Structure 1
Amino acid sequence: MNSVTDLRLPLPADSLDTRPQPVSGRWAVMLRRWKTRRVLLTLDDAQLRDIGMTRLQARREGDKPFWRG
């Protein structure tokens, strides 16, 4: 028998929510690393002094890939 079956499943209305869901777990950690490292590269010298980092330390941390802790 070669036919396509028309299968209809009832879906609750809330299952159709297409809003982005918050990222959690390992992906959340990697996303946070990526964002904070990008920001770290934009800080000026006074801001880096405030957080106790040198320009070289900021560059080394900012250049790391997001998957590396």
Structure 2
Amino acid sequence: MSGMSDVRLKLHAEELSRGRELKLFDVPQGFGRWRLMLHRWHSRRMLLELTPEQLRDIGLTAEQARHEGLKPFWRS
């Protein structure tokens, strides 16, 4: 294993031992930090523009979409 993998496994084990839920996100492969932030910003703005029918199609309520859409881009 690489050093980075060892660190991630250790952090994952610590999260599990504290009883916290580990959040994993489906991030497109190859995204750097800035591209990820831009992706979050753009997708969250789009969530705010969806119609009630579109929200129902993706399984979100208007409140859930608003909550996610108003998050700052630097938060996961």
Pairwise TM-score range, normalised by the shorter structure: 0.5 to 0.7
For residues 55 and 42 of structure 1, the distance between their equivalents in structure 2, rounded to whole angstroms, comes to: 10
What is the deviation of 1:35? 0.2
Q: By how many angstroms is 1:47 displaced?
A: 0.1
Aligned to 2:49, the other structure's residue is in SS state coil
2:55 paired residue number: 48
Task: Tell me the alpha carbon deviations over residues 2-52 of structure 1, each in whole angstroms, 9 at most, x when there is no partner.
Answer: xxxxxxxxxxxxxxxxxxxxxx51001000000000000000000000100
Moved over 4 A (4+): none
Letter in 2 for 1:31: L
Pair member with larger Rg? 1
Counterpart residue type for residue 41 of structure 1: L
Say how many residue pairs are matched.
46
CA shift, 1:57, in A, is 0.0
TM-score (normalizing by structure 1): 0.65
1:30 equivalent in alignment to 2:27 = no
User: Which has a greater percent of helix?
Assistant: 2
In the alignment, structure 2 segments of 5+ residues that lack a partner are 1-30
Q: Structure 1 counterpart of 2:45, which letter?
A: R
CA RMSD of aligned residues (A): 0.7
Name the CA distance, whole Å, in 2 between partners of 1:40 and 1:58.
6
